[in-house]
Amino acid sequence: MAKIFVSTFPFCRFDQEPLRILKEAGHEIFINPKSRKLSPTEVAELASDCNGIVAGTEDLLPLVETSEALRIIARVGVGLDSVPLELCKSKGIKVAYTPDAVTPAVAELVFGLMLDLLRKITPADKELRSGGWSRPYGKRLANSTVGIVGLGRIGFTLAKMLIGFGVRFILIHDISDVSEKIRDLRKSGGSVSEVSKQELLSESDLITLHVPKDPSTVGLISSPEFERMKSSSYLINTARGGIVDEKALYSVLKEGRIAGAAIDVFEEEPYRGPLATLDNVLLTQHMGSCSEDCRADMEREACEDIVRFFSGQALRSPVS
């Protein structure tokens, strides 16, 4: 029997099966008692003597540095910027993640944010509640040029959704070779072009980010990038906080140099920053994965890999 700490929040909000999987395997389970995202120090303290952790996006560096008991990290999600992979490798700590379960939920959220931004749905709701009735005009998504930065699982799924919706032009920028994926998208009937980052920024009506957070992507969108964007364009970030320079974003939104933005992820979460004072930005709560089915699948897959590890079986989705 192993001692397992569940740091991710929420956990088993919709489906109790992930918890049942751990219990039936006979493990001792401790669940995040704070009902919020834990700080790095809190994770290190609460999981100090645990053998495994079912983790969200919490920074695990202090835990990995100090723990002598930890043997496996099972990430509920796909991002690994919160996991010190090299240190885990040196200490013999296995890492697993759930890269596929999250994909449709994030892609659907981005699609919804695009429609909200273009058709001014949230501003219209706010205006009506305050007594107004201006019937604001918006733009059609199908008539827009959408720029996708990063054509991984989520970016590719989103592109297929956009093609099905009849979006006129899709621009792709990725540092990897995505030529085969682009050919697949074109076979689906889409007008898809691979372009430079600069061309994507200057030509897109909507720009959506789908890259991992690492040293090469921190500050990927900052003042120079905003200068290239059209004044009528919108930025969407559901990838990771820190990829967009929040101070630069605040400045361009406050000055009206771009039309607006939708931000689901932040440098510090929960977010309590100045973007919340602006009317031309939609702010959501790092909820890209939070559809009932996708969240349940992510939690179940992470717990199954915990059970596999302690029963001597191969991990389903190993990172290291």
Q: Among candidates 81, 72, 84, 91, which has minimal Cα distance to 22?
A: 72
Which percentage of the chain shows pLDDT scores above 90?
A: 98
Residue-wise pLDDT for 214-270, tens only, equals: 999 999 999 999 999 999 999 999 999 999 999 999 999 999 999 999 999 999 999
**Domain definitions of the chain by residue range:** 3-101+291-310, 103-283
Residue-wise pLDDT for 171-182, tens only, equals: 999 999 999 999
86 φ, ψ (degrees, to nearest 5): -65, -40
CB 140 within 8 A of CB 116: no
Q: What is the pLDDT of residue 32?
A: 98
CA dihedral 53, 58, 63, 65 (to 10 degrees): 120
Active-site annotation, residues: 240, 269, 286
User: Residue 176 has which token pair?
Assistant: 């990897």
320 pLDDT more than 90: no
Domain 3-101+291-310 and domain 103-283 have a common topology: yes
301 pLDDT more than 90: yes
Domain 103-283, CATH: 3.40.50.720
Cα–Cα dist 53/22, whole Å? 12
311 pLDDT more than 80: yes
89-103: average pLDDT: 96
Q: Residue 1's pLDDT band (boundaries 50, 70, 90)?
A: confident
Ramachandran class of 204: left when φ > 0, alpha when ψ lies in -120 to 50, beta otherwise = beta
Q: What is the pLDDT of residue 263?
A: 99
Give me the residue label for tokens 């969108």: 221
Q: What is the pLDDT of residue 33?
A: 97
111 pLDDT more than 80: yes
279-283: average pLDDT: 98
The rounded radius of gyration (Å) of the Cα atoms in the chain is 21
158-173: average pLDDT: 97
The CATH number corresponding to 3-101+291-310 among 3.30.300.30, 1.10.10.60, 2.60.120.260, 3.40.50.720 equals 3.40.50.720
Average of per-residue pLDDT values in the chain: 97
